[in-house]
Amino acid sequence: MTTLLGCIADDFTGATDLAGLLARSGVQVSLRIGIPDTPPRDTAPFEVIALKCRTAPVAAAVSDCRAALSWLQAAGASRFFWKYCSTFDSTPEGNIGPVAEALMDDLGCAQTIYCPAFPENGRAIFMGNLFVGRQPLAESPMKDHPLTPMRDSNLMRLLDPQVTRPVGLVDRLTVARGAVAIRDALARLGQEGVAHVVVDAVADEDLDAIAESCRDMPLMTGGSAVAMPLPALYRADGALAADAPRMETPVLPRAAVILSGSCSAMTNAQVAAYRDTGAPALRLDPLELADHGHQQALDWLSAQDLDKAPLIYATAEPDSVRAAQDRLGRARAGEIVEEALAACAMAARDRGARRFVVAGGETSGAVTQALGVDRLDIGREIAPGVPWTFCETGGHRIALTLKSGNFGAPTFFTDALEAL
């Protein structure tokens, strides 16, 4: 089938977040791990390409996103979405703004919007400032993120050094007046030469109005939630057929493993809650991995009953993460953990695990690469923005969920297993 909407996500968990929300429509959603190396075929109405470019060098991120855009255009997509984290994870150099400008250039697009709001998960934008729950972004745990510490809550100030064209705002007062008012405000800003427009949103009805006003833009950007209304709008427009293909959930064996590399505050709570259930759990220490390798973790895993869904985690508090980074270097500390968790994923698969719960964007990328996964079919959500997905690896059909660090309730790991 010809693709209608083509999406590019800057990490794996963000891609599954977006794909899961689009799949709420019941329409088939296909997620590609990396840029496919073959021409488009057997495509879904909604295609999402998951890249690993959130913290990549700017030039590499731009190049990868442009290549993804070209593949999606070849698949027939006429509308596009650039998806980044709902906490706007980036540095003054990028990569959110530079990628958006590059995609705009390739599409001949004079203006786009930025809306990372996700009210259902506690992300709101008011007067251009991003809130995480009741905390401004710069006062939330994101201020201590090991790769992209967010020390400013104002999205316009964050975006301005990343782009070459003017930045503006459509504020909540305008958004509250509905889609026509938003469209008029965007047109006025466009006449003033404003290319990059942050749009406030504090509630789901704001996202509905924003999506309605922007659905015909060649390019929209933001968190996943602003894309969620698009399928219904496309149906109403007749762009999406009423009989578009749907996803079917396979039945899989019980054996499972949980792999957690995220060090977010929520993932720390999720690890603690799962350990409290009495489930088998092993903590990975980057310093010990650097000195002794990960064979000890593989030996531990080989002794576990996979029907009890053992947990292997490197999740830790910020002080512990910084100590490892100080000794090993920021990049190497992360790589060591990713390598160990990826090796555990392959070992678990070979022992019969068919359900994989993975926490953390970088960890998700490492695990999917190790398993040789290049396409995921999107199933039911476990939590807002976190679906179960289904794929092939090593000749086996498996279920895989890739969770962004900050998403889900403290009981997420148990919730995920119960959902299947």
Contact status, residue 286 vs residue 336, Cβ threshold 8 Å: yes
Structure confidence at residue 54 (pLDDT): 92
Structure confidence at residue 354 (pLDDT): 97
Is the pLDDT higher at 364 or at 1?
364
* pLDDT of 326 above 80: no
- Average pLDDT value for residue range 184-210: 98
- Average pLDDT value for residue range 21-25: 91
Structure confidence at residue 46 (pLDDT): 96
- Average pLDDT value for residue range 176-185: 98
Contact status, residue 51 vs residue 35, Cβ threshold 8 Å: yes
Task: Tell me the per-residue pLDDT of 275-314, one tens digit each, with 9 for 90 and over.
Answer: 999 999 999 988 888 888 999 999 999 999 999 999 999 8
SS3 content of the chain, % helix, strand, coil (to 5): 45, 20, 35
Structure confidence at residue 324 (pLDDT): 66
Report which secondary-structure segment, H or E, holds 197: strand 196-199
Contact status, residue 165 vs residue 102, Cβ threshold 8 Å: no
* pLDDT of 248 above 90: no
- CA count, 13 A, side-chain hemisphere, 67: 15
Is the pLDDT higher at 198 or at 337?
198
Q: Whole-number mean pLDDT of the chain?
A: 92
Residue 28 to residue 19: CA distance in whole angstroms:
10
* pLDDT of 320 above 80: no
Question: How would residue 321 be classed by pLDDT, with cut points 50, 70 and 90?
Answer: low
The torsion angle over the Cα atoms of residues 154, 157, 159 and 163, rounded to 10 degrees, is: 170
Structure confidence at residue 73 (pLDDT): 98
Domains of the chain: 5-237 (3.40.50.10840), 256-419 (3.40.980.20)
Task: Tell me the per-residue pLDDT of 77-110, one tens digit each, with 9 for 90 and over.
Answer: 999 999 999 999 999 999 999 999 999 999 999 9
Residue 169 to residue 140: CA distance in whole angstroms:
23
Share of the chain above pLDDT 70, in %: 97
| Weakest mean pLDDT among 74-83, 167-176, 322-331, 363-372 | 322-331
* pLDDT of 1 above 70: no
Q: Which residues contact 409 (CB under 8 A, 6 or more apart)?
A: 270, 383, 415
- The verdict on pTM exceeding 0.95 is no
Is the pLDDT higher at 64 or at 120?
64
Residue 160 to residue 183: CA distance in whole angstroms:
22
Contact status, residue 373 vs residue 33, Cβ threshold 8 Å: yes
Task: Tell me the per-residue pLDDT of 105-150, one tens digit each, with 9 for 90 and over.
Answer: 999 999 999 999 999 889 999 999 999 999 999 999 898 888 888 9
| Weakest mean pLDDT among 5-14, 132-141, 318-327 | 318-327
* pLDDT of 330 above 70: no
Is the pLDDT higher at 73 or at 244?
73
